[in-house]
Structure formats: structure tokens, C-alpha cells
Amino acid sequence: DVQLQASGGGLVQPGGSLRLSCVAPGFTLDDYAIGWFRQAPGKEREGVSRISLVDDSTWYVDSVKGRFTISSDNARRTVYLQMNSLKPEDTAVYYCAGVGPDWKPLGDYVFADFTSWGQGTLVTVSS
């Protein structure tokens, strides 16, 4: 089974930027859909962004549109989440997870479709 690993979290001031990375050591993800999720203290986990590594289509939750960008490297081994203009409400543990193979529109996936959950990485936005 593919095991995904998320990294890149940290402490950043409001308005700052971070780039998260999601890798699957030893695997290429070229037929996967990869999603980024987050869970803030006391809140349910929510989907943040998704990318299809089949056709490079992307999906974003409304609260991050225009601020976050999801992408992958050419080798299809790493998926990035570039987070700009960060807000305190973006504070959460961020996770990546995959669906392989990618088989439906990104917006139609539900949590149960995603497997290969990695450990999370903490993002704290605070002054």
C-alpha cells in the first residue's frame, strides 16, 4: 500500500506563506488523485484542495480559493500545497491522502474514497 507523508508545517505570521509537501517514498502517483485536508482543534476534518495527477485538474474549498495552490512535480512523486496570505483560521493539522486510481470528478469524492492517509503536519498562523 502507498503510504503518504506530509511535511512543511510550522509557525507563520498572518499574511505569511508556507509550502506543504506530500510524498510517497518509492512510489509514483501518476494515476492518483491526491487531496489535502485539515483539522482544527474542536472541528471536523475538512477537504482543502485536490489534484488529479491524470489530467492535472484541481479543486479548492471556497475558503482558500485565490490563496492556496496545489501542484505536483514532473516526476509525479510529490504534491505541493502552496499557502499564501495565511489567516489565523487556517491553523490546523494538515493531512494528505490519495485515491488510486483517480476515477471520478474531484468534487465528487468523499472522505471514505481516500486511503493512504499520512501523518499530519501542524500549521499555526499567529502573531
Query: Helix and strand tally (H, E) in the chain?
Result: 0, 10
- Model pLDDT, residue 28: 85
Q: What would the mean pLDDT of 100-118 be, rounded to a whole number?
A: 89
pLDDT in tens, 12-58: 999 999 999 999 888 888 899 999 999 999 999 999 999 999 999 99
Averaged confidence pLDDT in the chain: 94
